[in-house]
């Protein structure tokens, strides 16, 4: 007769060691994708606000770079930077 192995104390540890990196990278991937989507939507909002400021503009003429920047800072406070000429 063959004796059955009843000691399984190390089995859970081995399974955890095999599965933990996959779960870690999955969670990390979800986090990075969320940060990417946040950056994309922030830039899209800044483009919308800047385009609207450029289209509406002043009543006396076309808006300058500073007016577009000011509109972006008011509407999208997380977007910073300088306008290149």
Each residue of 7-44: pLDDT tens digit? Answer: 667 888 899 999 999 999 999 999 999 999 998 998 89
Structure tokens at 42: 């922030």
Contact 76, 49 (CB under 8 A): yes
pTM of the model: 0.59
Cα 53 to Cα 12, 42, 66, 67, 75: the distances in Å are: 60, 17, 10, 7, 11
C-alpha–C-alpha distance, residues 27 and 34, integer Å:
11
């Amino acid at each position: 007769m063959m004796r059955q192995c009843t000691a399984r104390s190390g089995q859970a540890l081995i399974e955890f060691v095999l599965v933990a990196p996959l779960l870690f990278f999955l969670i990390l991937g979800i986090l990075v994708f969320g940060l990417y989507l946040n950056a994309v939507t922030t830039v899209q909002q800044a483009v919308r606000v800047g385009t609207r400021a450029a289209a509406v503009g002043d009543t006396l003429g076309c808006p300058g770079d500073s007016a577009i920047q000011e509109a972006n800072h008011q509407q999208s406070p997380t977007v910073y930077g300088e306008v290149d000429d």
